């Protein structure tokens, strides 16, 4: 048996380890659910499964690859969660998916593609983060989930009068009642992006129990 094959496979999983570590460092730095060790294990595990699929024969290769994608889908879904009116974890879930794909590419000896995609991932995570923050500053629409004490008396009318007075566009997306509290979901647009006025109004209003943006 050619022992060089084992050294070659060890080199493959080592490269997967390094790539998974680089991606995982960024997630760990931002205290995300899937961090340093998780990304390493995903990349190394995908690479190992791909190597094994090649050794078991061509008939099983595509089936094992599809099962890897399915399994990674379950892991990715586990890091997505809804907090208030926002959904968190989508970027981490996408990274898990890409990290598994990189491990598979390394398992198939496609190092050039793995390096190019890894570079793109690093650029997206580190270089484009400031760009993303700048884009967020130009958002002209925000969603507010507002909980009022009991039914809030005339809160609804007062809030909409406030919007009209300050030239804000608005739309009541949803209105529900929960434990004797009224919950409003408003989509508010501000041409000059001055949302501090809205937050200040909600903070000072006597009928507002809590609100989320």
pLDDT in tens, 117-153: 999 998 988 888 778 777 766 666 788 888 888 765 6
Specify whether the backbone of 184 is left (phi greater than 0), alpha (psi in -120 to 50) or beta.
Answer: beta
Q: Can you give the pLDDT at residue 16?
A: 94
Residue by residue, DSSP assigns 182-203 as: EEEEEEEE-TT--THHHHHHHH
**Torsion sign over Cα 174, 135, 22, 99:** positive
Q: Can you give the pLDDT at residue 12?
A: 93
Q: Which of 29, 70, 34 is nearest to 49 (CA)?
A: 70
Question: Which residues in the chain come in under a pLDDT of 70?
Answer: 1-2, 57-61, 82-86, 136-140, 151-153
Q: Can you give the pLDDT at residue 21?
A: 92
Model's pTM, two decimal places?
0.68
Say how many C-beta atoms besides its own lie within 10 A of residue 105's C-beta: 24
pLDDT in tens, 84-104: 556 778 888 899 999 999 999
Residue by residue, DSSP assigns 73-116 as: HHHHHHT-EEETTEEE-HHHHHHHHHHHHHHHHHHTT-HHHHHH
Q: Can you give the pLDDT at residue 179?
A: 80
Q: Can you give the pLDDT at residue 115?
A: 92
The residue extents of the domains of the chain are 4-136, 141-212
Give pairs for 133-138: CB < 8 Å, separation 24+: 137/193, 138/193
Q: Can you give the pLDDT at residue 116?
A: 94
Q: Can you give the pLDDT at residue 139?
A: 64
Beta bridge partners of 191: none
Q: Do the strands 169-178 and 81-83 form a parallel or antiparallel pair, or are they unpaired?
A: unpaired
Q: Can you give the pLDDT at residue 81?
A: 77
**Mutual angle of helices 196-204 and 155-165, in 10-degree steps:** 150
Pick one of 3.30.70.260, 1.10.10.60, 3.40.50.720, 3.30.1780.10 as the CATH number of 141-212: 3.30.70.260
**In whole angstroms, how large is the CA radius of gyration of the chain?**
25
**Mutual angle of helices 90-107 and 111-122, in 10-degree steps:** 160
């Amino acid at each position: 048996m050619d022992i060089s094959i084992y050294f070659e496979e060890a080199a493959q999983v080592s490269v997967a380890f390094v790539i998974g570590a680089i991606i995982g460092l960024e997630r760990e730095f931002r205290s995300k659910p899937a961090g340093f060790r998780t990304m390493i294990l995903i990349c190394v595990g995908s690479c190992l499964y791909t190597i094994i699929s090649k050794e078991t024969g061509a008939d099983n290769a595509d089936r094992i690859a599809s099962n890897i994608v399915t399994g990674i889908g379950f892991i990715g879904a586990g890091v997505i969660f809804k907090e208030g009116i926002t959904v968190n974890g989508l970027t981490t879930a996408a990274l898990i998916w890409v990290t598994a794909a990189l491990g598979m590419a390394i398992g198939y000896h496609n190092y050039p593609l793995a390096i190019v995609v890894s570079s793109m991932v690093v650029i997206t995570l580190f270089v484009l983060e400031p760009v993303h923050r700048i884009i967020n500053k130009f958002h002209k629409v925000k969603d507010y989930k507002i909980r009022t004490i009991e039914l809030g008396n005339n809160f609804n009318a007062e809030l909409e009068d406030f919007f009209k007075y300050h030239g804000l566009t608005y739309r009541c997306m949803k209105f529900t009642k929960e434990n004797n509290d009224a919950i409003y979901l408003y989509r508010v647009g501000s041409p000059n992006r001055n949302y501090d006025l809205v937050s200040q109004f909600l903070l000072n209003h006597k009928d507002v129990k809590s609100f989320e943006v």
